Amino acid sequence: MIVKKFIYNPYTVTIAGSVIAAITATIILSNSGNLVRQFSSIMEKFFGLTIRLPMFVFLLAIASLILIPVILKLKLLPIPAIYKINVVGFWRVLGGIYCLTGKPTEKCSWEIKLKEANGNGFYGPYITLRQGYYRVIFRLKISNNEGHDNIGLLDVVSGTGPAVGTTRHAETKLSASHFVRSEGYQEFKLEFSLEKETEGVEFRVNVAKDQQKERSLSLDYIALVKIS
């Protein structure tokens, strides 16, 4: 979970990319030696320091680590998505997501047989979210994508239970044809907004009953990002 959040964080991607780009550009440009010699000449003239290639690369990397976060903080780059997207959470079955049937796979996902599921799917994690605009991502795989059979419904709800009622914030139908290929993971996204702080928010993969074909459906993870 921590690793996924780290990887999905746009600041992490931007900073790492900047450092790699700086080092790569330095190595390429330094083949002629001109860039390093010019930089070394300036540093030696004004500061009495002799700069070689390894030190030049190190200083450029440090400068990138310092400057990029400052640029992002001050919003000096014309990339709105970098400043707005924030990873809220990442869940799997046995890690915040629940399922009453099926079994884990060797790659940490969870697989269910649709005909044996009897309408049961994936649900959870019952979290509290602040007011805002969100995108939830379901990473799913199906064993057979032939036909247009109804697989079920993806939705976002809150306040589940007879005592408080259920509010549906977003939904989309899921059919076999929505999968580009069989046995390959694919992301399905839902966007929704909350006008106030909301408790018991749940992301569900509702499996339709009376499945006609022998199929299996696997969930890798459910991720949530806050857009604004």
- Residue 119's pLDDT is 83
Q: Per-residue confidence at 33, pLDDT binned at 50, 70, 90?
A: low
Q: How far apart are CA 69 and CA 1, in angstroms?
A: 23
Q: What is the pTM of this model?
A: 0.64
Average pLDDT over residues 170-198: 95
Q: What is the Cα 6 distance to its own chain's centre? A: 10
Average pLDDT over every residue of 59-70: 67
Q: Is-contact 137 183, C-beta < 8 A? A: no
Q: What CATH topology corresponds to 87-226?
A: Jelly Rolls (2.60.120)
Give phi and psi for 102, each to the nearest 5. 90, -165
Domain boundaries, the chain: 2-83, 87-226
Q: Which helix (H) or strand (E) holds 21?
A: helix 10-29
73-106 pLDDT, tens digit per residue, is 555 555 444 444 588 999 999 999 999 999 999 7
Spatial contact of 207 and 151, defined as CB atoms under 8 Å apart: yes
pLDDT single digits (tens) 188-204: 999 999 999 999 999 99
Q: Give the contacts of 125 (CB within 8 A, at least 6 positions apart).
A: 89, 91, 96, 97, 202, 203, 222
SS3 (DSSP) at 174:
strand
E-strand ranges in 22-166 read 86-93, 96-99, 103-104, 110-113, 122-123, 125-129, 132-142, 150-158
Rg of the chain over Cα atoms, rounded to whole angstroms, equals: 24
